[in-house]
Amino acid sequence: MSNGDVAGGSAQDRDREQLLAETFVVLADTLVDDYDVVDLLHQLVDACVNLLGVTAAGLLLDDQRGNLAVVASSNEETRLLEVLQLQSDAGPCLDCVRSGVAVSVDDLEADQNRWPVFAEAAMSAGFRSVAAVPLRLRSETIGALNMFHAAPHPVPLNDRRLAQALADVATIGILQRRSSHRSALMAEQLQHALNSRVVIEQAKGVLAERNGVDMDAAFTALRRYARNHNRKLSELAMEVVRGEIDPTSVQSGRRVT
């Protein structure tokens, strides 16, 4: 579906309701288990793209050092990562994290002055509209879910609510991760999620180089292997980086012990 504001009662609507129900069942299932937080956040940005029909989505967290760090994105294109990362300086995500409220621009071309550097980068990456919803727990904002559309696109109210619901699941997922040592503090959980993402990036580099594939294919293989062999994504990634598991078997999906 190309955008969210279709007329009620259509087959498309029913498909979407079905997809929505399935998505939240999967997420709820994940949250009661001992899950991998980065994997969960990727499920969320994928769900965001599928349910809201946006072109791309990313999730940024406050790294507690004064920057926003990307922890999940719907694709691994450098252009998207750069547009996401730029927002440590200025952009809708930074405004969203600082204010704790959703920020959106229906048409970046008509509204370039707000964040000139971000707007230019986003447009040259093929995006015309952007929205960010906060990851909030009580008074604290820990990050933002960022959505991009290739066309000028006012976000319908229902889609905004749905995006906020996905962001809320992300917040719970990050802060309620069942800690193996103690009921950890917010900062501990946030830093854990951030470092997990770094391990996964390093593993993607190893897989991409060893197997001659791009970052997207490397990540897809990593996730698929983790799922098929019931492994946590970041633990598997750690083994890849440390050379404790054969990168070619991860790419091919074969289990090698």
Partner 1 sequence: MDDSAAEHDSVPRRICLLCVRMLSISGAGISMVTKTGNRGVVCATDDVSARIEDLQFTLGEGPCVDAAQFGAPVMVPDLRTPDDIVIERWPAFIEGAGAVGVRAVFAFPLRIGAINVGVLDVYRSDPGPLRDGQLRAALLAADAAALALLHTDTASDDLFSDDIGARVAYQLQVHQATGIVQVQLGVPTEEAFLTLRARAFALGRPLVDVATDVVARRLRFSVEDE
Query: Taking the CB of residue 189, how many other CB atoms lie within 10 A of it?
Result: 18
Please, what is the minimum distance in Å from the beta carbon of residue 186 to partner 1?
10
Phi and psi (nearest 5°) for 160? -65, -40
Q: From 9-17, 96-104, 160-168, 184-192, give the range in contact with partner 1 by CB under 8 A.
A: 184-192
Please, what is the minimum distance in Å from the beta carbon of residue 205 to partner 1?
2
Closest CA to 196 of 167, 173, 163: 173
| Sheet containing strand 140-149, strands side by side | 68-73, 56-62, 140-149, 129-137, 103-105
Please, what is the minimum distance in Å from the beta carbon of residue 244 to partner 1?
10
Q: From 45-53, 126-134, 141-149, 238-246, give the range in contact with partner 1 by CB under 8 A.
A: 238-246
Asked if residue 185 binds partner 1 (CB under 8 A), the reply is yes
Asked if residue 98 binds partner 1 (CB under 8 A), the reply is no
> Which of 63, 95 has the CB closer to partner 1?
63
Binding mask 58-97 for partner 1 (x = CB under 8 A): -----xxxxx-xx-------x--x---x--x---------
Q: What is the DSSP letter of 86?
A: G
Structure token digits, residue 115? 């964040």
Q: What stretches of the chain adopt beta strand conformation (E)?
A: 56-62, 68-73, 103-105, 129-137, 140-149
Asked if residue 215 binds partner 1 (CB under 8 A), the reply is yes
Structure token digits, residue 12? 């498309």
- Distance of alpha carbon 75 from the chain centroid: 9
Asked if residue 232 binds partner 1 (CB under 8 A), the reply is no
> Which of 165, 238 has the CB closer to partner 1?
238
Residues that bind partner 1 (CB under 8 A): 63-67, 69-70, 78, 81, 85, 88, 179-185, 187-189, 191-192, 194-199, 201-210, 215, 237-238, 241-242, 247
